[in-house]
Structure formats: structure tokens, C-alpha cells
């Protein structure tokens, strides 16, 4: 087992978890997270031996995801950080992993929204003394930190990515 490849492959799960937690606690996904995801993709792809054509396909999928994300942002369906995180995750997941990513993101987003709506309906008596981010999260008509669902979807689809497939096969 190549320890360098293993460490590089751990970057994506670590950063999407950080992104989900940042979105949950601040309703923002900092640009540095998506930037690091993009930056670390290239040495990871080279470390696992991803062919140049496959790297180009990953880039194409990421650009397509960014364009779709920009449209969703323009319609105010998601935040700008969500759009960038989705594109960065698609860069890591490639064509074969991005379908599972979108499916899992939708499923986890729906579950998270249902749980959050239930919590918002029943949490008011228990919010005294809660941290500010919890109070903000429990606002009845507040925003939903969709970065949580994006992170969950990326984690669940990561095994299907060409990066992981090459690492496991190699």
C-alpha cells in the first residue's frame, strides 16, 4: 500500500467533512476548502496513476458541475459555496462517481431537510443557552446548510470514483 497515495486520497473526505461542518455552523463554505480540493486533486490523480485523458474527463465533469451550480445559484436554490463545493467534489469523483454523488446528495439533502424541519418545529423550548449557530440553524424559516448533504453525498460516492478504483486495483 502506497502511503503517499493513501494520504492524498484522504484529503477529499477530510475537506468535505470540514466544508459540511463549516456550512452547518456558519452557513458559509469558505473558498479555501474548494481551492484545496482542486489543488490536491492533481497530485492525487498522478499518485494513483490516472491517465491524462481521465484527468481531462474529470476536469470536464467539474466544469459542467460548476456551470449547473452557477445556474442553481442564480436561481437562489443553493449558495455560491455549495456550487463551488459540488464542482470540486465532481472533480474528484469523475464521470462514474458523479452520478452516485448527485443521487446520494439528493437523498441525504432530503433526509437532512426533513430532520431539520422537524427539529425547527420542536426545538424552541430547548434553545435557551444554545450556541448561536444552533439558534440560527433552528430559525423556522432559516436557510438550510446544503453543504452538509453535499459532503455526505461526496463521502458516499467516493468509493465509486476512478481515483479509488485505481488505488484499490493498483
* Structural domain boundaries enclosing 33: 3-169
Q: What share of the chain is helix, strand, coil (3-state, %, to 5)?
A: 80, 0, 20
The C-alpha atoms of residue 19 and residue 150 are separated, in whole angstroms, by 9
Q: What is the pTM of this model?
A: 0.93
In this predicted model, what pLDDT tens digit does every residue of 77-93 receive, in sequence order?
Answer: 999 999 999 999 999 99
Euclidean distance between CA atoms 165 and 18, whole angstroms? 24
pLDDT digits (tens, 9 = 90+) for 139-156: 988 899 999 999 999 999
How many domains, in total, are found in the chain?
1
| CA separation for the pair 138, 64 (Å, rounded) | 34
Amino acid at each position: 500500500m502506497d502511503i503517499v497515495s493513501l494520504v492524498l486520497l484522504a484529503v477529499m473526505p477530510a475537506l468535505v467533512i470540514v466544508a459540511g461542518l463549516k456550512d452547518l455552523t456558519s452557513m458559509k463554505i469558505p473558498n479555501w476548502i474548494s481551492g484545496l480540493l482542486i489543488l490536491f486533486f492533481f497530485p492525487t490523480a498522478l499518485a494513483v496513476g490516472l491517465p491524462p485523458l481521465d484527468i481531462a474527463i474529470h476536469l470536464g465533469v467539474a466544469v459542467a458541475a460548476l456551470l449547473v451550480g452557477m445556474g442553481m445559484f442564480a436561481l437562489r436554490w443553493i449558495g455560491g459555496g455549495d456550487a463551488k463545493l459540488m464542482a470540486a467534489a465532481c472533480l474528484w469523483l469523475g464521470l462514474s462517481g458523479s452520478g452516485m454523488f448527485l443521487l446520494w446528495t439528493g437523498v441525504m439533502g432530503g433526509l437532512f431537510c426533513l430532520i431539520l424541519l422537524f427539529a425547527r418545529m420542536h426545538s424552541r423550548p430547548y434553545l435557551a443557552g444554545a450556541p448561536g449557530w444552533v439558534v440560527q440553524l433552528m430559525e423556522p424559516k432559516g436557510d438550510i446548510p446544503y453543504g452538509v448533504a453535499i459532503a455526505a453525498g461526496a463521502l458516499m460516492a467516493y468509493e465509486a470514483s476512478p481515483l479509488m478504483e485505481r488505488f484499490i486495483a493498483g
